[in-house]
Structure 1
Amino acid sequence: MGLGTTFEKDLIAAGGINIVTYPGTPEYLADLAAGRLDAIYNDRLLIGYLAKSQNLPIKGVGNAGSVDQMGVAMKKSNVLLQRAVNAALKGLKADSSLAKLGEKWFGQDVSKP
C-alpha cells in the first residue's frame, strides 16, 4: 500500500498485519498480480479502474474501512450550478446511466455504496 496513506494507518490500527509499503498503486498492483502479495487494501474504485484498464488478473472483494463521501467543489454562491449538478446526478441514477458508467470505467456499479 502507499506509504503514509489513510489505508496504511487503518491497517496499523487494526494490528497483526504484515504491511508492505510502496511508492504508488501501480507498483503494489503489479506485485499482487505476480503473486508476491496476498492482498492489498485501497479504494475500491481506484482498484476497479486500474484492474480493468490495465487488464490485471485481480478483483476487488468485500468492503472494509469507512465509506467516504465524494463531492463537487464549487462556490457557495453558485446556487444554479449546484442545482444543475444535483439534477444531473439524480437523472444519471434514475435512468441507470451512473451504474452503466461505473461498470464501464470501474467494473462495478458506483451508484451503490
Structure 2
Amino acid sequence: MKRLTFASVLLMAAMPCAVMAGSPQVIKFGVDPTFPPFESKAPDGSIVGFDVELGKAICADLHAKCEWVEQSFDGMIPALKARKFDAVLSAMVATPVRREQIDFTNRLYAGPSRLVARAGVNLQPTAESLRGKRIGVQQGTAQEAFARQEWAPGGANIVTYQNQDQVYEDLANGRLDAAFQPVVQADLGFLKLPHGKGFAFVGTEVKDRRVSGDGVAIGIRKDDHVLASQINQAIANIRKSGEYDRIDRKYFDFDIYGE
C-alpha cells in the first residue's frame, strides 16, 4: 500500500472540516432564470438573484462550489428525479402535492400568492368572481394547480405559460384579465417596473396550503438524506451569522423570511 508523505498529511490537515466530514464539493442546483428578483439572467449571461445568492452562501458554508443548471419550471421535479442536478433552488413552494414526489429542506422564506390585474378591477380569488375570466399562470407552479382545482370548475379560463415573463406580457397587452403568482415576485418583477404601470394587486392573499405550502424551500430527492441535512445546517448557519439578513436587505425592504 502506498505510504502517505508528510506533505500529503499536512495538505489533508489543512482541508476544511466540513469537506472532511463528507460535505459535497459541488452542488448542482436546478434553476429557472425567468423569475426575477429570485433568479434571472444578467446581460453577461450569468444567473443572478436572491435565490442564487442564498445558494452561494449555503455552498460557502459547506465549503462547496455551486453550479447552476437551467431547467424550465414545469420540468424541474422530473429533472431532479433523473439526477440532472442535485437540488432545486428556484422559488419552489413546498406543497403537500410536491412532497409526495420529493423532499424539501427547511424553509428559505414565506410564499404567499395573489392576483394582479388592472388597477381598479374588482376581482376576488374565488370561482364566482373569476367566472369567464382569463387567468394567467406559469406552467408547473402551485398557482396553476390551485387555479385548476378551485377556479376552472367554476368557469374560469386558466391560461398557462412556459415562464412568468410571458404571463406579464399578455396581461399588459390585455389578453388576460389577471395573473396569479407569488406576491413578492409580482411586486418586484412586474408592479414596480415600467411595464407594470396601471396594474395592482386585487382581492385578498390566497393562504391555502396548496399554494403557500410550508413556504419556499430547496427540493431534494427523497433518498438524499445526507444532502438535505447538510443544507439544513447551512441554512441555520447563515441565518445565525447574519449572512441571510445581509442578502435579504440587498433585495427587499422587508423581512422575506416571514413568521
Q: Normalising by structure 2, what TM-score?
A: 0.32
Q: Pairwise CA RMSD of aligned residues?
A: 3.8
Which residue number in structure 2 is paired with residue 42 of structure 1?
A: 181
Residue number in structure 2 paired with 1:13: 149
CA distance in 1, matches of 2:173, 2:166: 11
Per the alignment, residue 103 of structure 1 pairs with 252
Shift of 1:79: 6.4
Structure ranking higher in helix proportion: 1
Point out where structure 1 has 5 or more consecutive residues left out of the alignment.
none
Please give the per-residue CA displacement for 1:25-62, whole angstroms capped at 9, x wherever unaligned: 11111121233322111233433442278543144564
* Rg larger in structure: 2
- 1:63 alignment partner, SS class: strand
Aligned to 1:88: 238
Q: Distance in 2 between matches of 1:42 and 1:30?
A: 14
Distance 2:140 2:229 in 1: 37
CA distance in 2 between counterparts of 1:9 and 1:45 reads 19
SS of the residue 1:19 aligns to: strand
Q: Kindly, what percent of the aligned residue pairs are identical?
A: 19
Higher relative contact order (CA 8 A, sep 6+): 2
Relative to the length of structure 1, the TM-score reads 0.61
Gaps of 5+ in 2: 1-136
Q: How many residues align?
A: 109
> Out of 182, 205, 210, which is 1:63 matched to?
205
State which drifts further: 13-22 or 83-92: 83-92
Given the superposition, is the C-alpha separation of residues 19 and 101 from structure 1 closer, same or farther in structure 2, using an over 3 Å criterion? same
* Alpha-carbon distance in 1 for matches of 2:232, 2:140: 34
Q: Which whole-Å CA distance do the structure 2 matches of 1:36 and 1:26 have between them? A: 14
Q: Shift of residue 86 of structure 1? A: 0.6
Query: Separation in 1 of the partners of 2:179 and 2:257?
Result: 23
Query: Is 1:24 matched with 2:163?
Result: yes
